[in-house]
Amino acid sequence: MERVGKKERQYVEEVLSMNFRSSAGYKMTKRLEEAFVEKFDSKYAIAFCNGTATLHVALEAAGVGMGDEVIVPPLTMSSTTFGVLHANATPVFADVDPDTFVISADSIEKCITHRTKAIIVVSLYGLAPDFDRINAIAKKHNLVVIEDDAQCFLGKYKGKTVGTLGDMASFSFQSSKHITSGEGGMLITTNLEYAEKIRKYSCLGYAGVSTNKGKISKTDIQEPDYSRHVSLGWNYRMSDVCSAVALGQLEHIEELVEMRIKSAKLFAEAIRNSKILIGQKEPEGYLNSYWAYTAKLVDDSIGWKRFRDKYLELGGDGIYAAWKLTYQEPFFKNMTFLRREELLNKDVNYSDGICPVAEYLQPRLLQFKTNYFDFEIAKRKADVLAETIKYFE
């Protein structure tokens, strides 16, 4: 299987043949948005330049701002928290489940205050959290639920597709993701009010754009008294070239996801009887789409680096550590992003110990890549993993 196939190249050629004429608009981006609406049985889809901008604008559309708190997991790419900070809100970190590694509903409930406005839930490594409990908590406290599905395309939760379970869902097309256009993102929702705000905020606050229209008409813009900007906005639009690649990828997304699941199953089989590695638990009724296959090293006498080095020595590759917890990253510890002290609520705790499960897991997690476009290579790497385990056991 090719990472970039004939369709992607064909669609890019179609865009280039239009010579980037303004009159051509964003035709490929519109097609991509329509395809997402159909794929996820949603009502609105708005394309973005990346999957961090999506989270920022989702919060803006939900009315989140200074003084508001947004609950997020610390065990994920820091972009999730960046979106909160871009919206001038205060991130509050909820702990994760020790077996599934995703945000814990119990911890979410403990984090809620009178300032809480939203929860960003991350389907980590391709696995959904407990949406029934999280949505019940959100309903009880009148909170917005935003899905960060950067690592989860076509995952399932009790028969429902991940991306259809919150108020809004964000996707990323960064190069490591299930589908890619190099960079890019998508925000989907069934809520008209959110969709209208999302489009305007992502398109410089232009007056002429709407949920299904990302470009101002030529007639409007030629009028001398035309008022362009009706709100603050950002230039977060996705280019048609990137949309062309993403559309080609989306058209065979099932194949791309299946490839990752098949690779992950090989790694799962390799550790099935292991006493030192325990894989991410996939609860009954869930489907993990496996952006990565992840396991925790439970024998501290071995150590992460020593295990990784032996795996590489025996012929393995594509093994990564989990991200440092966001509140332990230098930018957060030093508060270098904070230009005005009042931007963060002072009574929120960011000291070590606030998320003990995440702090235990992070230095022990082994992330194995699953995007092996040659299945025989995936088999060899899984065999190497089994050999590495045998060496230490």
* Over residues 202-217, mean pLDDT: 72
pLDDT tens, position by position, 4-62: 999 999 999 999 998 887 666 689 999 999 999 999 999 999 999 999 999 999 999 99
Q: Hey, what amino acid is at 126?
A: G
Residue 31 is predicted with a pLDDT of 97
pLDDT tens, position by position, 146-185: 999 999 999 999 999 999 999 999 999 999 999 999 999 9
Residue 343 is predicted with a pLDDT of 67
Distance CA 292, CA 341 (A): 38
Residue 210 is predicted with a pLDDT of 64
Residue 175 is predicted with a pLDDT of 95
Distance CA 325, CA 94 (A): 11
User: Taking 60 as the threshold, does the pLDDT of residue 215 lie above it?
Assistant: no
Distance CA 172, CA 58 (A): 14
Q: Would you call 189 helix, strand, or coil by DSSP?
A: strand
Confidence of residue 219 (pLDDT cuts 50, 70, 90): low
Residue 60 is predicted with a pLDDT of 98
Q: Would you call 281 helix, strand, or coil by DSSP?
A: coil
**How many other β-carbons are positioned within 10 Å of the β-carbon of residue 26?**
19
Tokens found for residue 323: 């991200």
User: Taking 60 as the threshold, does the pLDDT of residue 76 lie above it?
Assistant: yes
Q: Would you call 172 helix, strand, or coil by DSSP?
A: strand
Tokens found for residue 301: 């006498």
CB 385 within 8 Å of CB 366: no
Q: Which of these, 286, 199, 269, 270, lies nearest to 237 by C-alpha position?
A: 199
Distance CA 305, CA 154 (A): 33
Residue 227 is predicted with a pLDDT of 76
CA dihedral 62, 66, 72, 74 (to 10 degrees): 150
pTM for the whole structure: 0.94
Distance CA 48, CA 239 (A): 8
* Catalytic annotation, residues: 177
Confidence of residue 216 (pLDDT cuts 50, 70, 90): low
Distance CA 157, CA 287 (A): 7
Secondary-structure breakdown of the chain: helix, strand, coil percentages, each rounded to the nearest 5 = 40, 15, 45
Weakest mean pLDDT among 68-77, 128-137, 200-209: 200-209
CB 92 within 8 Å of CB 350: no
Indicate if the alpha-carbon torsion angle 243, 249, 254, 260 is positive or negative: negative
User: Taking 80 as the threshold, does the pLDDT of residue 140 lie above it?
Assistant: yes
Half-sphere exposure of 22 (CA within 13 A, CB side): 6
Q: Could you give the domains of the chain?
A: 6-252 (3.40.640.10), 254-392 (3.90.1150.10)
Output phi, psi for 204, to 5 deg: 60, 20
Burial pattern 34-48, b for ≥16 Cβ within 10 A else e, equals ebbbebbebebbbbb
β 116-122/160-161 pair status: unpaired
Residue 226 is predicted with a pLDDT of 75
Q: Would you call 334 helix, strand, or coil by DSSP?
A: coil
